[in-house]
Structure 1
Amino acid sequence: MEDPIPRVNFETMQRYHGKKVTLCCQISQIENGQVRVMTADKGEVTVVGGATPYEGRFVEVLGTVANPNTIQEIEHTNLSDNFSLDMYNELVKLSHKDAYMGMFST
């Protein structure tokens, strides 16, 4: 059985170098196979390696943390344009508290 894949924002992503994570974010720029995104806690991350097109403003990325500012994409899901990054950020903060660890992982 695989380890749970944690949901992260920019701050918590830093703890998972080399590990799989799930990141919901807002697309800022797409250029030359790289996607610049803004995380729910206003960090900037580059997503690399995606093969399918991004559509809309928000996306959920499953990938491996390559360095503090980069995720190597495994896959992504385009989200509705009315997705709330603020609510997602609250979910991430709760999911990283000891009492709830693992409860919100994918």
Structure 2
Amino acid sequence: MELPSPRVNSARLPAFMGRTVRLPCKVLKSQGTSAIVEACDGGQVEVRLNPNSELSATFVEIIGQVVGESAIKFLFGISLDSDKELDMKLVNDVVELTFDPRFKKMFPE
């Protein structure tokens, strides 16, 4: 059975070293095997891409392994682009609610 991959923001990354997480973010720069993204809480995160991976959408959810306090090794990406801009403050509020003790049973770490 696979472990859950919690949705995180940049401030929560250090608590998940070595674990697989989901990072909703906005792509700021993607070049070669590295990308810089802005997490939903406004913090910047380095994404270490695979040689054949590409971040072509503006808003994505990156599924990856946390390899540093502000770095993720890319495993998979899901485009979150639509005809409207994603409200990152709202996304961050949802991320933070998943860590609220009142909802611990609903969102296992």
Taking structure 2 as the reference length, what is the TM-score of the superposition? 0.87
The answer to whether the Cα contact below 8 Å between 2:36 and 2:44 also exists between their aligned partners in 1 is: yes
CA distance in 1, matches of 2:97, 2:73: 25
RMSD: 1.6
**Correspondence for 1:24:** 24
**Correspondence for 1:41:** 41
The answer to whether the Cα contact below 8 Å between 1:21 and 1:64 also exists between their aligned partners in 2 is: yes
Identity of aligned residues (%): 27
CA distance in 2, matches of 1:15, 1:94: 16
**Which SS does the other structure have where 2:14 is aligned?**
helix
Uncovered stretches (5+) of structure 2, i.e. residues with no partner? none
**Which SS does the other structure have where 1:8 is aligned?**
coil
Deviations 1:18-46 (A, max 9, x none): 00000000111112210100111111101
The answer to whether the Cα contact below 8 Å between 2:39 and 2:45 also exists between their aligned partners in 1 is: yes
Amino acid at match of 1:67: G
Give the stretch that moved more between structures: 41-50 or 85-94: 41-50
1:85 paired to 2:88: yes
Ranges of 4+ aligned residues in structure 1 off by more than 3 Å: none
**Correspondence for 1:101:** 104
Uncovered stretches (5+) of structure 1, i.e. residues with no partner? none
1:55 paired to 2:63: no
**Which SS does the other structure have where 1:93 is aligned?**
helix
